[in-house]
Chains A and B, each alone.
Chain A
Amino acid sequence: GQQVMQIPQYQHVQEGEDFTTYCNSSTTLSNIQWYKQRPGGHPVFLIQLVKSGEVKKQKRLTFQFGEAKKNSSLHITATQTTDVGTYFCAGPLAPGTASKLTFGTGTRLQVTL
């Protein structure tokens, strides 16, 4: 089973509101990646975080990697309807297996006007 949990499972916001999804791993990660999957689509890579405490921004999206490298978050400021989709974090749980990603359970975001 999956050992990367995300909360919440689902969130419904009105356009303009902020949104945050949290990712927690059962083990320390060498890196964490975030993907977005639109309804009916395939996962699309967003970003990779490597360093403890790292923060990266992409326009309205802010990604953080925890100090212990076991958790991460994605924050979207002023959501838009184009942000609709499921957001997954993913990381290599086993040491030495950088290419074997374990995906989180995902957070489905719904944005309405």
Chain B
Amino acid sequence: DTGVSQNPRHKITKRGQNVTFRCDPISEHNRLYWYRQTLGQGPEFLTYFQNEAQLEKSRLLSDRFSAERPKGSFSTLEIQRTEQGDSAMYLCASSSALTARPYEQYFGPGTRLTVT
């Protein structure tokens, strides 16, 4: 069990640029979640996958955000035309429906995005 990994750990970009983050969940975890966290706040749900299917997407997400999990393993989160308000920590978490505690989410270290 190597834990949830996220890359890159830090990203600085200029407003208007596109960015893509990657999340590798714990091996064999079929559920994957993306959250956004700003300073002093709790994680805010963005989207959720079960295997390769995107089952939930926050209404807060604009059309500039898109997430994929093409083979049911790693996932990518893309933000197009970044804005300064997108600056935040983007957290990925995974869980397994097949364990005794299917609700327990394991979080990765996050990708910190700064939009200048």
Chain A interface residues (CB < 8 Å from chain B):
2, 4, 31, 33, 41-45, 48, 88, 90, 97-106
Given A42-B91, A42-B110, A43-B91, decide whether A101 and B105 contact each other with a Cβ distance below 8 A: yes
Whole-angstrom distance from the CB of A41 to the nearest CB of chain B?
8
B108 and A99 contacting across the interface, CB-CB below 8 Å: no
- Indicate which residue in B42, B48, B95, B108 contacts A104 across the interface (CB closer than 8 Å): B42
Whole-angstrom distance from the CB of B62 to the nearest CB of chain A?
16
State which size class the interface on B falls in: 20 to 34
Could you name 17 residue pairs across A and B whose Cβ atoms are closer than 8 Å?
Answer: A2-B44, A42-B107, A42-B109, A42-B110, A43-B43, A45-B106, A48-B103, A90-B42, A97-B56, A99-B50, A99-B55, A100-B48, A101-B45, A101-B105, A103-B44, A103-B45, A106-B41
19 further A-B contacts with Cβ under 8 Å, apart from A42-B108, A45-B104, A105-B41, are A2-B41, A2-B44, A4-B42, A41-B109, A42-B107, A42-B110, A43-B43, A43-B93, A43-B107, A45-B105, A48-B101, A48-B103, A90-B42, A98-B103, A99-B33, A99-B95, A103-B44, A104-B42, A106-B41
A105 and B107 contacting across the interface, CB-CB below 8 Å: no
Chain B interface residues (CB < 8 Å from chain A):
31, 33, 35, 40-45, 48, 50, 55-56, 58, 91, 93, 95, 101, 103-110
